[in-house]
């Protein structure tokens, strides 16, 4: 018996979902393993790995999407610092998942700014100390 879901008002078969899962799986691998990927710094560059097999991922992907209605389903890592593995992933809408990345990027930028300020402050202290040395 064929199983289906609805994505962006289109009926999608289980066979098509399996095909799509292959592309998603490859994208995960590229983000985690390919230093030339534009998103590598947020995944592999932070030590995030894809630890499930293609078959495990396909089963996870299909079983969590099939029979439901979606706009743009997306694989979300529940622990943003954790690997791509079954117990750390869920399927959510892309819009919801994108907001998580924006918060992470904001935190990274804020941390970099704080580090720069601390370095500048320490440099100024060191420079003023060196001026008073005979």
User: Of 60, 58, 40, 62, which Cα lies nearest the Cα of 49?
Assistant: 40
CB 103 within 8 A of CB 82: no
Q: Distance (Å, rounded) from C-alpha 97 to C-alpha 94?
A: 5
pLDDT band for 129, please (50, 70, 90 cuts): low
Q: What is the mean pLDDT of residues 57-79?
A: 93
Which pLDDT score is estimated for 113?
Answer: 65
- CA atoms within 13 Å, Cβ hemisphere of 10: 10
Q: What is the mean pLDDT of residues 101-129?
A: 64
Q: Distance (Å, rounded) from C-alpha 118 to C-alpha 126?
A: 12
Query: Could you tell me the pTM of the whole model?
Result: 0.70
Structure tokens, 28: 């995960």
């Amino acid at each position: 018996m064929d199983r289906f879901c609805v994505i962006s008002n289109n009926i999608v078969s289980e066979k098509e979902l399996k095909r799509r899962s292959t592309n998603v799986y490859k994208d995960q691998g590229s983000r985690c393993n390919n230093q030339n990927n534009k998103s590598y710094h947020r995944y592999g560059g932070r030590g995030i790995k894809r630890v499930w097999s293609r078959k495990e991922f396909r089963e996870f992907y299909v079983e969590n999407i099939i029979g439901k209605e979606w706009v743009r389903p997306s694989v979300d890592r529940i622990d943003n610092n954790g690997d791509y593995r079954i117990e750390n992933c869920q399927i959510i809408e892309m819009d919801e998942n994108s907001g998580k990345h924006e918060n992470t990027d904001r935190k990274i930028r804020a941390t970099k700014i704080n580090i720069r300020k601390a370095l500048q402050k320490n440099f100024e202290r060191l420079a003023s100390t060196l001026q008073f040395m005979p």
